[in-house]
Amino acid sequence: MPEALNELWFALPVRGRDLAVLLAWLAPAALAGALILRGHRAGPLVAALLWRFRWSNLLFSGLIAVSVGLGVALVAQERALRQGTAKAADKFDVILAAPGDQIRMLLAAVYLQPTDAPLLRGDVLARLQADPQVDLAAPIAFGDSFDGAPVVGSTAQFVEHLSGPLAAGRLFAREDEAVAGALASVDVGDSFTPVHGHGPAASAGETHDGVTIRVVGRMAPTGSPWDRAIVVPVENVWTVHGLANGHAPSAGDRLGPPFDPDYFPGTPAFLVRADEIWKNYAIQARYDGEGVMAFFPGSVLGRLLALLGDMREMMSLMAVATQALVAAGVLAGLVALTRLFSRRFALLRALGAPRRFVFAVVWSYAAALIGAGCAMGLAFGWIAAQVVSRIVTARTDVLVAPALGFAEAHLVAAFFSLATLLALLPAFGAYRRGVVEDLRAAA
């Protein structure tokens, strides 16, 4: 039987399973509500109490909203960051670089973080150009910048691969032309002179005097740091650094592959890709070895995120703990509030209301506060995630676009169910109070 259930479970579409989990989380609250409210019409009285004490209630619900919102924002933000970084690395199938730190090269080649890296030489280029499985082998030569934006040398094929159709202009056709990223500070038609160095090193770097590059095209947005970059022909990078331009003198003004290994000055990294996934695996396996480090950026990113996953777990735990503390605080407040209401409840009992009705009023009151807090928490969490994402996107250029999904719905549903079950406590407290004593107490 369990196996059959297991099969049934996995036969469901993912959304179906998510929905089932959501319903399962809500089930305890729904069941409790159905049992508690059965046969009574507590709604109008509860609504009137909620309205009469609306400011206190708003405070209670607001506290719940903040704690729920923090949890929602954390989950949504973390997922969006994961998706954004993964999407940014999506176009980078296999990276070849000199042996070293994969994470450092991942950050340099994919996320354009400033770094110094040893160069791959012509022998690697020769192997790549002769490899029938390789469909694209683009050098990625970083190290220059303009106005804070990285100026990266590569090929027109790489630009096409990264951007797809350009948003404006055309691909570069000469060494002194460039294609700007979607968010780069230069426009089509602008000219600029690159500076040696990128990031903190740029301020101390020297301007490549006498070099003027004209922007002739703009890439479509990629949701990655490449949106801020300016891509120039790799030949330009070599030339402005006084190196051979990758082609034999007899090649004239040739731009792009094939390059001549004998005139190949070297590049920190190659982006290599094949049209079929299995070939990418074969390429990675074949090239990773002596003198070359070949890796899948997606795989390295996965390991990095897994490492950060522990941090996420800890933060999630802290969020849950915060929610639990707030829920406990709110419940303590509810206990105090039910004491303030004790004369009302005693009056109901004196008028013949069964204990269960008073129980239903208290529980409904608490459930309404918790439900309102959860709903506001979802909204608050979404807003907080949007704000944080915009900051992260502005700082990293990795497009982080959070959206509310089932993960957040599960979190809120779980909190709602647990809190409404905890709300049984103040309801029991009101249930057990003496009628005559409470009628007299405040008289």
Partner 1 sequence: MRPCDGSPSRRGRAPVTAPALSARDVTVTAADGRLLLRLDRLDVAPGAALGVRGPSGAGKSTLLNALAGLLRPATGAIRWGGTDVAALGEAARDAFRRRFMGLIFQDFLLFEELSPLDNAAVGAAFAPRAERAAIRARAAALLDRLGVAAGARDVSRMSGGERQRIAVARALSGGPRVILADEPTASLDRANADLLIADLLALAREGGGTVIAVSHDPAVTMAMDRIVSVVDGVARDGDHAGAAVVAAPVAERARA
Angle at 113 (CA atoms; ends 111, 118), nearest 5 degrees: 110
Specify the residue for token string 């030339």: 239
Among 2, 44, 242, 249, binds partner 1 (CB under 8 A): 44
CB of 41 to partner 1, least distance (A): 5
CB of 366 to partner 1, least distance (A): 17
Among 19, 21, 304, 347, binds partner 1 (CB under 8 A): 347
Q: Which is nearer to partner 1, 49 or 140 (CB)?
A: 49
Stretch that binds partner 1, among 198-206, 390-398, 406-414, 434-442 (CB under 8 A): 434-442
Q: Does 443 bind partner 1 (CB under 8 A)?
A: yes
Cα 340 → chain centroid: 46
At 124, is the secondary structure helix, strand, or coil?
helix
CB of 355 to partner 1, least distance (A): 7
CB of 343 to partner 1, least distance (A): 7
CB of 32 to partner 1, least distance (A): 19
Among 27, 30, 52, 332, binds partner 1 (CB under 8 A): 52
Stretch that binds partner 1, among 39-47, 116-124, 159-167, 199-207 (CB under 8 A): 39-47
Residue 88: which of 283, 268, 227 has the closest Cα? Answer: 227
Among 30, 48, 317, 332, binds partner 1 (CB under 8 A): 48
Q: What is the DSSP letter of 259?
A: P
Q: Rounded distance, CA 302 to CA 308, Å? A: 10
Q: Rounded distance, CA 36 to CA 32, Å? A: 6
Q: Does 2 bind partner 1 (CB under 8 A)?
A: no
Cα 284 → chain centroid: 28
Q: Does 433 bind partner 1 (CB under 8 A)?
A: no
Q: Does 41 bind partner 1 (CB under 8 A)?
A: yes
Distances (CA, A) of 393 to 53, 396, 415, 442: 42, 5, 30, 58
CB of 364 to partner 1, least distance (A): 11
Q: Does 355 bind partner 1 (CB under 8 A)?
A: yes
CB of 339 to partner 1, least distance (A): 17
- Which residues fall within 8 angstroms of residue 321, CB to CB, at 6 or more apart? none
In the region spanning residues 222 to 261, those forming contacts with partner 1, defined by CB under 8 A, are: none
Distance from the first to the final alpha carbon of the chain: 62
- Which residues fall within 8 angstroms of residue 285, CB to CB, at 6 or more apart? 294
Packing angle of the helix pair 355-396, 14-37 (nearest 10 deg)? 150
Give the Cβ contact number of residue 314 at 10 Å.
Answer: 10
Among 45, 97, 109, 202, binds partner 1 (CB under 8 A): 45
Residues forming contacts to partner 1 in the complex (CB under 8 A) are 39-42, 44-45, 48-49, 51-52, 343-344, 347-355, 357, 435-436, 439, 443
